[in-house]
Structure 1
Amino acid sequence: MNPKTILNLILVFLFTTNLYAQDQNEIFWKAAKNNDTKTLKELLDKGIDVNVKTPYGATALMFATDKGNLEVVNLLLERGANPNIKDSFYGYSSFLWALIKNNVEIIKSMINHGADISTDEPLIYAVYGELPEVVKLLIEKGAAGVDNALLTAIRNGNSKIVSQILQITKLSDASLSKALVSATASKNESIIASLTQVGAKLPEKQESKGEINKSLIGVYKSKDESRIVTNIKESNLTVSFNGSPEYTLSLQEGNKYTLTDVSGITVSFEIVQNIPISLTVNQGGNTTQFFKVVDQPKTETSVKKEEFVDLTGKVVKPLNWPSFRGNQANGIADGQFPPLNFDATKGTNLMWKTYIPGLAHSCPIIWNDKVFLSTALSSDTTAEYRVGLYGDVEPAKDNSSHIWKMYCIDKKSGKILWEKKAYEGIPRVKRHPKGTQANSTPTTDGEYVVAIFGSEGMVCYDLKGNEKWRKDLGILDAGWFFEEETQWGHASSPIIYGSTVIVQCDRSKESFIAAYDLETGNEVWKTKREEISSWGTPTIYQGATRDELITNSSKFIRGYNPKTGEELWRLSPNSEVTVGTPISHNDLIFVTGGYPPVQPIYAIKPGGSGNISIADSLNSGQFIQWRTKRGGTYMPTPIAYNGYLYTLGNNGALTCYDANTGEKKYKETLKDGQAFTASPVAADGKLYFTSEEKGIIVVKAGPEFEQITINPIGEICMATPAISDGLIFVRGQHHLFCFERK
């Protein structure tokens, strides 16, 4: 046997052995999730590493903890599982997962098996979780951070845990004094009484260490756009972190301060020639520098701020809005003159509203005189989705039978022209608590209308409601990358290109992008994608020399030939969860991501080939006009309009960039908007931003921020509006609203 043959055999053996080991690991992790102690014991007896990690650094103990499987947790701990191993993405240990889940028995078991209690975190989590039994156990075991735990309990108004801490531990006079200051500030009489009973006294009023340097007051920003505001309140210097309540600062020495009612945090100012340059926050040895924002002085030669003018006119040609956010997802409707002001609660400029049953984030689309949208009706009448700013990963508990429907509505009257039942049954995949079973927006070319109903499949109708074909796309189990069994559901919408409909199906395994014949539903091409779950819709960039199909996803942003499915180029790094849709403007392609480990904004030049990624140290390259690795947004797709790129955070943080250079023009927070999921749209010098609960906010387009008005809808709004023919169409939780300009 020659050496080459021997080498090939060795490689085959190693590859096969590696696959076997991977399979065994998968079985091991799955058994931990499913409370399968029999399989776990068998694998442990065969020598599997009890702490074997997933690509994200998770262990079987983490999965068992997440599922609350106490028997499995105890088995793994007895076999040597380490409760202090942290995953490589979130940086959480199994012990912290147990504390977050408030699972008392698992927490106790981990403490007895060597869980690390030498930092403040465990005790703080136990206080936040309102777990007095765990607080008691941690303190008795010598956990660190008792002072901070007491202050946390005081700020949370938890008098029971405050009393418990005071009963089982002996605190210093200084700690009791600081606690009483905090309780007095919060005006909690029962906690004040408990502290006074154990001898706590307010500190004696000290002589002033000098007048506060008023130049310290202002706004400070870090490189990742975190924000600190300093102020003077009741003769004390205060600090607020990213909109938090104000904390009083106590001067220690020089320009170094501590927080009066929070231990372990110092704030130090850097002052050069009596001018504050920056401040540094130090918490447990971790430091972050914030630079003072300096307002530019106004001069007589300053350019006068351009006053907002609401452009009006006659619509020459009504715009079709054929897919998610219109044409190529650009969201622009110039010349359609939608209303500036409207109010569904008062009927102001309300042309009509039509009740649409079910739960859906599917956005309205428009062709000529018809509006199309889809929905999913649960037989569970209590089914709902949660709105607001939160990070829950657990799927909604709605496993009832559903009916999926497509609606066609008259644009001018709101009359339902036809409705068709596409599917009926129990959903094949669970949904995110903020999602629905009808997240995808339909698409039309004026002859056919195509809708994806998640894992139920894709259906094509003609515009009269006659079904032309349907396609099973398989199980589209998009979900949490960290634990693939946690399903959140499909959201990417279909798009039409020529005579094909293209779908991006990124899921837990075997992701793909494919094109199907619009007339027959037959597959034209299908390309496998080594991608994890994503939720953005693909976009077509139409260039002078070639068209490019752009996808936003975790491992790579990619460009394809839309006629063949051949990959043209790829780009990284990107966020681990991608939701936004790519857009194009002035021969640049814009893609954003708003989830760790990076939150990029890319301005991509079309025409690339192969891997067009650039070095971390660079902000531009051959096919990258500009990029930033921070500042990308999570849910809403950005909008590029009249030379500017606008990104919107879930919290209403609106940032404007020069689209060609990436120069930041402003970053402001939309007033009274709270949370945002829908994407912005634009028309005639106005930007429309749909808040989840507060209505639609209108902002003047351009490099200077000016919020014009907010228009109440009176319903939760998660879908992106459509604009056409002087009208704006807004989908609420229960109705489709049409507003006109009068």
Structure 2
Amino acid sequence: MMRLRIRLVLTIVVLLASLAIVAAGPPEEAFWDAARAGDLDKMKQLVTEGVDVNAPTRYQATALSFACDKGHLEVVKYLVENGADLNPKDSFYEFTPIGWASFNEHVEIIELLLEKGAEGADLVLSMGVRNNNSRMVAAALKVEGLDSAAVLQARQQVKSVDDSAEIAAMLEAVEIEVPETTAVAVAPELLASYVGNYNNEQIGLALEIRLEDGNLVAQATGQPSLGLTAVSDARFDATEVPNLSISFSGRGGLIESATVHQGGQDLPFPRVTETAEAPEAQETAPAAEELKTETAAAPEPIARGPQQNWPTFRGVQASGIADGQGAPTTWDVTSGENILWKTPIPGLANASPIVWGDQVFITTAISGANDDTFRTGLYGDVDSVDDESEHTFKLYALQRTTGKIEWERTVATRVPGAKRHLKSTQANSTPVTDGKRVCALFGTIGKLACYDMKGKSLWGADVGILDAGWFYDKTYQWGHASSPVIYKNLIIVQADVYKDSFIGAWNLKDGSPAWRTSRDELPTWGSPTIYRGKDRDELITNGTSIRGYDPASGKILWTLAPNSEVTVATPIIANDLFYVTAGYPPVRPIYAIRPGGNGDISLADEISSSDAIAWSHDSGGTYMPTPIAYDGHLYTCANDGRLTAYNATDGERVYRQRIGGGSFTASPIAADGKLYFTSEEGDIVVATAGSTYTELARNEMNEICMATPAISDGVMVVRTLGHVFGIGEASVDP
């Protein structure tokens, strides 16, 4: 299975290349598609018609890259015989064709490319050892002039691979010169000053330096420990990995940064202060006493107010705030403490619940093949779930106080027009209601459906199949997820897909089209947000360019770049600012945008604010969860549970804390001075809001949780993959 994160010892891919845009017409697109599909006849036809075998995509990948990824040996042979460049390196991941073949262990292709003189034998060797593939190792070792450093690294690497005696023997049989290193004596107090945690937010990698038996040891995220040998007072070579070293620098006797030197690249890791996060290499949740769970007291409750509806993803304006709604702090699914109800729902769905009055609305998609393939966790697989069965797409209305199903409607029964990711479903978009109607969007069948509050069908609109997935290769489908929003008499859908992205509005009354605006955009997964201002209203969208529109007409108002190539978070509004984040290369920014912008409001280099931008950071943005602005702070939660709090007004970082091991996709919510964080494993962590972090409770749902909870009138509605729960200050039998 292909991995996008290559777990090599401290091997760091730095995304410095610019993303050159190449104007490619339909013949080139068809050529790349044929290479992916292994359609050799089509490729030959297109070459005859004049298509260049080395035609690059916008990321400088070629047909050879795709054929090597998919394992089409005959296509690779044809391309090589017809002059294909063996070593094109794409501008985003910096991978070559032999790299793609290595990830998928397409050994015959690897052997062919190496025989023809392709570069990358060291990568083949490392991947062969990692996958315990002796044939890949043998192919790499046959290459004349293979770097001895690569063999030394492979010898160290094989020690951590099970049942690898054959490969270990192959590596030991290679005659190489082992360079000698002369150790330098460094004062113990100076060694101790280097101990600590360092973090490069731009690439999302942490580095821990510690002392073991008087010697420095380095450990990067997800990597084994490396011994360090001093070559000067401030520079150390990795004992087991040739050509890798770490240096330390600082001022006034304080160490401020570590720099990793490898392969001609210097990667800085600023030191993490003591008030910041635990090392990213830590895989388990912090101990309870470290999070003050024993002595923590919940904030004074806010007086219960009138019911506040939760009409769309993350509530009103996606704020995620439910003050005065009686949100619970603790509950116990096993004993039934504070569990008001529990309702099973068939199928799979990541769509979040919404609440209006005494009704809870949810959607689901039921596979005809009963395929419940789903995988949580921190991983980089881009694969789709191969389920092409007929699905039943449903909308449910539940009673808020009892969980009883009031009605359920089948929106459609058909085969989805696009596949889903391993962590996705065919029902990702959260429904939306204005209290008169409830609308549900199922993007992979192109269906927008509207019902009244009693379940009567009002209308259905065809929005077109919304096929979203990996921007690099459209054959990897992940599923659409953006949720619709309601503005006055319109329902608005953000439809960022592989081709012909758009944002459009339909009339709530009858589903007729109102307006449609094209977007030059890659697939995205965040939802649009509506700002209702004194001078004008604005519709804010995330994407490779952040944009503002007139929600009444779809007219573009302003654009802001740069941003990540994959965006998932939804823009939020607080303090009369729009907060937008993203957490994928090439940049992971945080923007605090003022209303009223016009035209291109992008910042000049080295500038972090302007008339249009209150403040910004070019790193620190998070990938999956939408941030939350509450009580004067902006909180961002990374996929791995790193919580960072900023001053919402000026962007100054207040603290950083790891809230738990595991992975996070659901977005945080807040109520009555408390923050709620839901992990994929089903832990809902409750913590105090404010300038310091104190954990109040850790509630286990005992099921996978991908959806963001809703809170309204004394009930927290939590959706797991199998059930919907109503949680409140009461208890019933489990």
Report whether the alignment pairs 1:153 with 2:143: no
Report the equivalent of 1:330.
319
Report the equivalent of 2:675.
687
C-alpha change, 1:500 and 1:271, in structure 2 (3 Å) is closer
Correspondence 1:611-626 to 2 at 5 A: 611-626=600-615
Match of 1:169 among 161, 170, 174: 174
Q: How well do the aligned residues superpose, as a CA RMSD in angstroms? A: 2.3
The worse-fitting range, judged by mean Cα deviation, of 657-666 and 258-267 is 258-267
Report the equivalent of 1:127.
129
Report the equivalent of 1:303.
none
Match of 1:518 among 508, 518, 524: 508
User: Distance between the aligned counterparts of 2:576 and 2:185, measured in 1?
Assistant: 61
Task: Answer yes or no: is the 8 Å Cα contact 1:443–1:451 preserved in 2.
Answer: yes
Report whether the alignment pairs 1:505 with 2:495: yes
Query: SS of the counterpart of 1:240?
Result: strand
Task: Answer yes or no: is the 8 Å Cα contact 1:455–1:473 preserved in 2.
Answer: no
The residue identity in structure 2 corresponding to 1:280 is T
Report whether the alignment pairs 1:703 with 2:691: yes
The residue identity in structure 1 corresponding to 2:672 is D
Correspondence 1:79-90 to 2 at 5 A: 79-90=82-93
What CA deviation, in whole Å up to 9, does each residue of 1:273-328 have, x standing for no partner?
654343322112211233444558xxxxxxxxx97533336523121100001001
The residue identity in structure 2 corresponding to 1:139 is L
C-alpha change, 1:161 and 1:88, in structure 2 (3 Å) is farther
User: Distance between the aligned counterparts of 2:31 and 2:634, measured in 1?
Assistant: 47
Report whether the alignment pairs 1:741 with 2:726: no
User: Distance between the aligned counterparts of 2:680 and 2:467, measured in 1?
Assistant: 25
User: Distance between the aligned counterparts of 1:292 and 1:531, measured in 2?
Assistant: 36
User: Distance between the aligned counterparts of 1:272 and 1:522, measured in 2?
Assistant: 65
Query: SS of the counterpart of 1:317?
Result: coil
- How far off is 1:173 after superposition? 6.9
Report whether the alignment pairs 1:53 with 2:56: yes
Report whether the alignment pairs 1:268 with 2:247: yes
Query: SS of the counterpart of 1:702?
Result: coil
User: Distance between the aligned counterparts of 1:450 and 1:291, measured in 2?
Assistant: 47
The worse-fitting range, judged by mean Cα deviation, of 278-287 and 691-700 is 278-287
What CA deviation, in whole Å up to 9, does each residue of 1:173-215 have, x standing for no partner?
779xx9xxxxxxxxxxxxxxxxxxxxxxxx9xx9976545322
Query: SS of the counterpart of 1:424?
Result: strand
Task: Answer yes or no: is the 8 Å Cα contact 1:154–1:162 preserved in 2.
Answer: no
The residue identity in structure 1 corresponding to 2:158 is A
- How far off is 1:172 after superposition? 5.0
Query: SS of the counterpart of 2:644?
Result: strand
Match of 1:74 among 73, 77, 101: 77
Percent identity of paired positions between Structure 1 and Structure 2: 45
Report the equivalent of 2:143.
141
What CA deviation, in whole Å up to 9, does each residue of 1:410-451 have, x standing for no partner?
111111111111110111111112110000000011110000
- How far off is 1:62 after superposition? 0.9
The higher relative CO (CA closer than 8 Å, separation ≥ 6) is in 2
Task: Answer yes or no: is the 8 Å Cα contact 1:547–1:561 preserved in 2.
Answer: yes
Task: Answer yes or no: is the 8 Å Cα contact 1:150–1:165 preserved in 2.
Answer: no
What CA deviation, in whole Å up to 9, does each residue of 1:93-120 have, x standing for no partner?
00100001111111111111111146x3
- How far off is 1:268 after superposition? 2.1
The residue identity in structure 2 corresponding to 1:148 is Q
Report the equivalent of 1:236.
215
C-alpha change, 1:33 and 1:369, in structure 2 (3 Å) is same
Report whether the alignment pairs 1:458 with 2:461: no
Query: SS of the counterpart of 1:635?
Result: coil
The residue identity in structure 1 corresponding to 2:139 is L
Report the equivalent of 1:426.
415
C-alpha change, 1:650 and 1:294, in structure 2 (3 Å) is closer
Query: SS of the counterpart of 2:611?
Result: coil
C-alpha change, 1:364 and 1:295, in structure 2 (3 Å) is closer
- How far off is 1:157 after superposition? 3.5
Task: Answer yes or no: is the 8 Å Cα contact 2:99–2:120 preserved in 1.
Answer: no
User: Distance between the aligned counterparts of 2:169 and 2:443, measured in 1?
Assistant: 51
> How many residue pairs align between the two structures?
684
User: Distance between the aligned counterparts of 1:398 and 1:692, measured in 2?
Assistant: 23
User: Distance between the aligned counterparts of 1:406 and 1:632, measured in 2?
Assistant: 33
The worse-fitting range, judged by mean Cα deviation, of 214-223 and 569-578 is 214-223
Query: SS of the counterpart of 1:679?
Result: coil
Report the equivalent of 2:429.
440
Correspondence 1:623-702 to 2 at 5 A: 623-672=612-661, 674-702=662-690
Task: Answer yes or no: is the 8 Å Cα contact 2:495–2:501 preserved in 1.
Answer: yes
Task: Answer yes or no: is the 8 Å Cα contact 1:359–1:384 preserved in 2.
Answer: no
C-alpha change, 1:541 and 1:250, in structure 2 (3 Å) is same
User: Distance between the aligned counterparts of 1:285 and 1:510, measured in 2?
Assistant: 41
Higher helix content, 1 or 2? 1
Report whether the alignment pairs 1:370 with 2:359: yes
User: Distance between the aligned counterparts of 1:58 and 1:597, measured in 2?
Assistant: 17
Query: SS of the counterpart of 2:670?
Result: strand
The residue identity in structure 2 corresponding to 1:264 is N
- How far off is 1:237 after superposition? 2.1
Query: SS of the counterpart of 1:137?
Result: helix
The residue identity in structure 2 corresponding to 1:553 is G
Report whether the alignment pairs 1:721 with 2:709: yes
The residue identity in structure 1 corresponding to 2:326 is F
- How far off is 1:579 after superposition? 0.9
TM-score (norm 1): 0.88
C-alpha change, 1:502 and 1:223, in structure 2 (3 Å) is closer
Task: Answer yes or no: is the 8 Å Cα contact 1:379–1:401 preserved in 2.
Answer: yes
User: Distance between the aligned counterparts of 1:510 and 1:112, measured in 2?
Assistant: 41
Report the equivalent of 1:495.
485
User: Distance between the aligned counterparts of 2:315 and 2:256, measured in 1?
Assistant: 46
